[in-house]
Amino acid sequence: MERLVIEGGHRLEGTVPICGAKNAALPQIAAALLSDEPLTLTNVPDLADIRSMLTLMEHYGVTVAGPSHATVTLDAAAAANREAPYDVVRRMRATVLVLGPLVARFGHARVSQPGGCAIGARPVDLHLKALAALGATVSLDGGTIDARAPEGGLTGARIVLASPSVGATETALMAAVTARGETEILNAARDPEVCDLAQCLIARGAVIEGAGTHRMLIRGVDRLRRARHEIIPDRIEAGTYAIAAAITGGHLELTGARLEHLAAVGAALEAAGVRIWPTDRGLMVAMEGRPRGLDITTEPYPGFPTDLQAQFMALMAISEGASLIRETVFENRFMHVPELARLGADIKLQGTSALVRGVPALKGAPVMATDLRASVCLVLAGLAAAGETVVNRVYHLDRGYEALDRKLVRCGARIRREDVP
């Protein structure tokens, strides 16, 4: 196991290249299963979660070429339908995204109920209801999801999602593109990652309208063809580095980042006193002095993303004033609060809200990473804290951030990675 040792108090200045989006790449890798023609994805980030998904593809007999220079070619011509093994599925919730493509292509899927970050109950009922609406028979059998299409395959239908779940929208979309007839997805998630999946499927011949709105229309096609698709930049990675610049009173250019995917985050940062503006290459972020306290509420896209809540809380911990942070997407996503308190943050939790009273400075201490976004929030806090912060269990970070410590060190951070004996 490894840990990061951070010497805080150094201003960040320089350029950070933003990788392709993990959450866009994962469903697109799963979507390779939909066709016997190859799919080439470019701008794929080099992350533990991506490697887990590629391993799962190999388990299904998909030939995986790469990743090399962020390009992966997936050829599912010889794919075979098997049960998804628990030891892969338990590591990452996104493995449930193979359900839709498997049922669509083979008429049957068996997948262990997924694991992933411990940030709430995270059921998959909406994924299963979407498949059932398309005609699949779905049952749970000793921790395994079993979904079976009727004779003749899935049929287009109206799917009304009870909430705009990202994953359930993606499952519905992937299952519908080769179903017979038309599918309407209502209350669809509008996230850029859903739009990117739709763009990838359209490049392969799928007929999809309305991606990025609450209502998507899909006309089923017989088969998908070969294509090459570039993954969009990771807005959560970009937002994380924007906060890194802000929390250290620094100045960073985030190459490849797109402000239009970060509208709510950009507005919140500006209200807190951070300057943020687009450049030819991406985004510039600059900060002087302490941020102002500001209230935020996490919401489905285009609202403030839950995946940046912990990082924003680290910034608010050193604000002038106070900040009320409400989490409405996941019910148990405040595991970073006691760890931030170890660094001297003044945070009071009440149900799904956290009241953060800004302190002039944080002080380094040993802390424990509990999930992906919580662990990066502790790194950000460590960059701002006086003295040494040790972040244990960094494998969470490596699931979602490519070369985080190297990118930060190049901009002036003092961080070393150590093996824990």
Stretch that binds ligand UD1, among 53-61, 227-235, 300-308, 383-391 (CB under 6 A): 300-308
Out of 70, 94, 179, 201, the only residue in the binding site for ligand UD1 (CB under 6 A) is 94
Q: How crowded is residue 406: how many other Cβ atoms within 10 Å of its Cβ?
A: 11
Residue nearest to ligand UD1 (CB): 167
Out of 12, 19, 23, 136, the only residue in the binding site for ligand UD1 (CB under 6 A) is 23
**Interface with ligand UD1 includes 330 (CB under 6 A)?**
yes
Three-state SS string over 240-290 comes to HHHHHHHHCCCEEEEECCCHHHHHHHHHHHHHCCCEEEECCCEEEEECCCC
Choose among 282, 269, 273: nearest CA to 238. 282
8 Å CB contact between 379 and 368: no
Question: Which is the catalytic residue, given 19, 117, 195, 411?
Answer: 117
**Interface with ligand UD1 includes 26 (CB under 6 A)?**
yes
Site for ligand UD1 in 134-163 (CB under 6 A): 163
How far are the Cα atoms of 307, 310, 361, 373, 419 from residue 392, in angstroms, in the given order? 20, 17, 22, 14, 10
Out of 230, 234, 253, 307, the only residue in the binding site for ligand UD1 (CB under 6 A) is 307
Residue 154 CB, nearest approach to ligand UD1 (Å): 18
Residue 400 CB, nearest approach to ligand UD1 (Å): 8
**Interface with ligand UD1 includes 125 (CB under 6 A)?**
yes
What is the spatial distance between Cα 237 and Cα 302, in angstroms, rounded to a whole number? Answer: 16
Note if 117 is an active site residue: yes
| Per-residue binder mask for ligand UD1 (CB under 6 A), 221-260, x = binder | ----------------------------------------
Nearer Cβ to ligand UD1 (221/267) = 267
Nearer Cβ to ligand UD1 (131/218) = 131
Element (H, E) at 86: helix 86-89
**Interface with ligand UD1 includes 120 (CB under 6 A)?**
yes
Residue 104 CB, nearest approach to ligand UD1 (Å): 18
Nearer Cβ to ligand UD1 (75/234) = 234
What is the spatial distance between Cα 332 and Cα 323, in angstroms, rounded to a whole number? Answer: 19
In sign, the C-alpha dihedral spanning 295, 297, 301, 306 is positive
Residue 387 CB, nearest approach to ligand UD1 (Å): 32
8 Å CB contact between 319 and 272: yes
Q: Report helix, strand or coil for 48.
A: helix
Positions that interact with ligand UD1 (CB under 6 A): 23, 26, 93-94, 120-127, 163, 165-168, 193, 305-307, 329-330
